[in-house]
Amino acid sequence: MTDNTINKAFEAECREQIAQQGDDQKLTGLARDFFNESAKHKYSYHFSWMGRPIIQLPQDMMAMQEIIWQVKPDLVIECGIAHGGSIIYYASLLELQGHGEVLGIDLDIRAHNREAIESHPMSKRISMIEGSSIDPAIAAQVRAAAEGKKVILVLDSNHTHDHVLEELRLYAPLVSVDSYCVVMDTVVEDMPADFFPDRPWGPGDNPKTAVWKYLEENKDFEIDQQMQNKLLITVAPDGYLRRVR
């Protein structure tokens, strides 16, 4: 048996097991319970990448590593910078591949975060734009930066339905065929309604409802069900969108 045959058999076995995970209601229920209970302690806030807070679940960052290795993009666009850990993470993966850049967009890049990002060893692969991601002038800058490039898109800024839907309409067309648009925090739809008392989003008004609406409008993307079945614990159920045409 050749190495290629062994690898294909292993991959087929994994695909079958992943599908079984997704169908296991007890397991998926436990994963959901873990997420909701750990979120009370801001579990995802407690991880960093190369010295910067990443504010993401490790499972989702493993998924992003797989996607970046598979796609080998010229450009990763992320709406939402915060402390900069995620754009530094993507830049470090591109550095390992020896190719690619990251473009981060945020309404308010705080001075201490900008300084930390710009002084980081991975800053050579990072550029940033300050302003609203749904501002037409900002969108025009992003389109210019993405022209002719293989693009991965990550949406992780304002989590209201209207904002995310507009981001999808503006930026999802930049994503290359066989690449991904990843919409973070779709999990808000599945969380208790009282979890967001001081936020303008919640069940019924969040990134997942925006994804559902966008997929009604646009048939170029499909939900990568295998990815969320594999992760089980994720902030992005229904949020891993693969461009298929």
pLDDT of residue 48: 97
Looking at residue 184, its pLDDT comes to 98
The confidence band for 141, taking pLDDT boundaries of 50, 70 and 90, is very high
Q: Residues 137-154: what's their mean pLDDT?
A: 98
| The three-state (H, E, C) secondary structure of 170-189, written as one string | HHHHHCCCCCEEEECCHHHH
Write out pLDDT tens, residues 11-25: 999 999 999 999 999
The reported pLDDT for the residue numbered 133 is 98
Cβ–Cβ contacts within 10 Å for residue 166, how many? 18
| Tokens matching residue 242 | 């693969």
Share of the chain above pLDDT 90, in %: 95
> Taking the CB of residue 60, how many other CB atoms lie within 10 A of it?
23
C-alpha 99 chain-centroid distance: 20
Residue 153: φ, ψ to 5°: -120, 135
| Dist CA 167 CA 140 (whole Å) | 12
**Confidence class for position 1, pLDDT limits 50, 70, 90:** low
The domain ranges of the chain are 3-243
Which fold would CATH assign to domain 3-243?
Rossmann fold (3.40.50)
User: 193 is written with which tokens?
Assistant: 């309604």
Residues contacting 30, CB < 8 A, separation 6+: none
Q: What radius of gyration do the chain's Cα atoms show?
A: 18
Indicate the pLDDT class of residue 212, thresholds 50, 70 and 90. very high
| Residue 236 CB contacts under 8 Å (≥ 6 apart), including other chains | 60, 182, 183, 184, 185, 186, 187, 228
Residue 193: the pLDDT is: 87
Tens digit of each residue's pLDDT (9 = 90 or more) over 95-105:
999 999 999 99
**For the residues 24-29, what does the mean pLDDT come to?**
97
Please, which pLDDT band fits residue 194 given cuts at 50, 70 and 90?
Answer: confident
Q: What is the mean pLDDT of residues 151-178?
A: 98
